[in-house]
Amino acid sequence: MRYDSDIVVIDLEATAEARGRFKMNESNIIEIGAVRLDRRTLEVVDTFSELIRPRDYPITPFITELTGITDEMLAEKDTFDGAIRRFIQWYGPRNHAVLASYGVYYDIPLLRTECARFHVTFKEHWVGGAIDVRTAALLWLADHHEPTDGLTIERALRLMELDHLGLTFHRALDDAKAGAAILQKVHLGEASV
């Protein structure tokens, strides 16, 4: 499989309410993780990882338990406006890469919302479409007669026999690596993350 541009698999971790309920307009991104895949070979060519101090919404004990990210880890970090500038620089010029994530219904809208909050024009930097890694996993699993209900990223890796990668879930870079491994498995038959 060849793409017209590199693929950047992105994952975000964000704040949420005390009981873990997520409201897009009441969350701040606290971690960006990304893996760049070569458009021809789908080999990993670069990674990006940055912790981010939330500006408006604090980390709850639920998020600390889920991600392992603490207030202390973020105390000296930059807020989203600085982190997104570094990510944009790493990402490269518009149309240089297409975004992908495991469940584009979460990461891409959250990125758009946070960009708007910090007055960063989303469309200026990213093409309109995105690759949904979860959909790719669902189709691959259906073709291989595997169950697809309740398909978390952890379960997808296990069913696709990629659970040997030693990744820490709910950390942005490792979740992005998991998404990259799924795309590699779907298109190449194996993963090399």
The pTM of the full predicted model, rounded to 2 decimals, is 0.94
Q: Give 32-42 pLDDT, tens digit per residue.
A: 999 999 999 99
pLDDT of residue 2: 67
pLDDT of residue 128: 64
Query: Which architecture, in CATH terms, is 6-186?
Result: 2-Layer Sandwich (3.30)
Q: Give 67-101 pLDDT, tens digit per residue.
A: 999 999 999 999 999 999 999 999 987 667 899 99
* 148 or 10, higher pLDDT: 10
Three-state SS annotation for the chain: CCCCCEEEEEEEEECCCCCCCCCHHHCCEEEEEEEEECCCCCCEEEEEEEECCCCCCCCCHHHHHHHCCCHHHHCCCCCHHHHHHHHHHHHCCCCCEEEEECCHHHHHHHHHHHHHHCCCCHHHCCCCCEEEHHHHHHHHHHHCCCCCCCCCHHHHHHHCCCHHHCCCCCCHHHHHHHHHHHHHHHHHCCCCC
Is 90 exceeded by the pLDDT of residue 8? Answer: yes
Q: Give 108-143 pLDDT, tens digit per residue.
A: 999 999 999 999 987 777 766 799 999 999 999 999
